[in-house]
Structure 1
Amino acid sequence: MKQVAANMAGTVINVLVQPGDEINEGQDVLVLESMKMEVPVQAQASGKVVEVKANIGDFVNDGDIIVVLE
């Protein structure tokens, strides 16, 4: 299984993928807000989304797994 990790700590303000979606490396998967800045999180690998572990309003830390790919 491949995974997408948060690249910084922040609050999830938008989830751009859902289970079943095919995504490409470099594609935005969600948007975090930190210190009033919106920062997209990009997939580090291509694959099919199996699970999205973060929801809008969740706080994630740098390195937290937010999307699981197959």
Structure 2
Amino acid sequence: MTEQIRAEIVANVMSVVARPGTRIDEGDTVVILESMKMEIPVLSEYTGVLTSIAVKEGDVVQEHDLIAVVD
């Protein structure tokens, strides 16, 4: 089943930690966002293969923007 990881806040993408094609588990960090000088890890809620990353370092995400897809 394909699942989407979405942003919960408006923030800058500080770092992309996971890479497409790798297996991730629930709780693994996918990207790190920065908002108001705080680092906020975005954790996967799913276990599976990370099929795509929709953001890159330096991007600004809005609430509910797509960050990654897990299959």
Alpha carbon RMSD of aligned pairs, Å? 0.8
How many residues get paired? 70
2: CA distance between counterparts of 1:63 and 1:26? Answer: 19
Q: Please report the TM-score for the alignment, with normalisation by the length of structure 2.
A: 0.92
Q: Which runs of 5+ in 2 are unaligned?
A: none
Aligned to 1:44: 45
Q: Please report the TM-score for the alignment, with normalisation by the length of structure 1.
A: 0.93
1:1-70 paired onto structure 2 within 5 Å: 1-70=2-71
Q: Which runs of 5+ in 1 are unaligned?
A: none
Moved over 3 A (4+): none
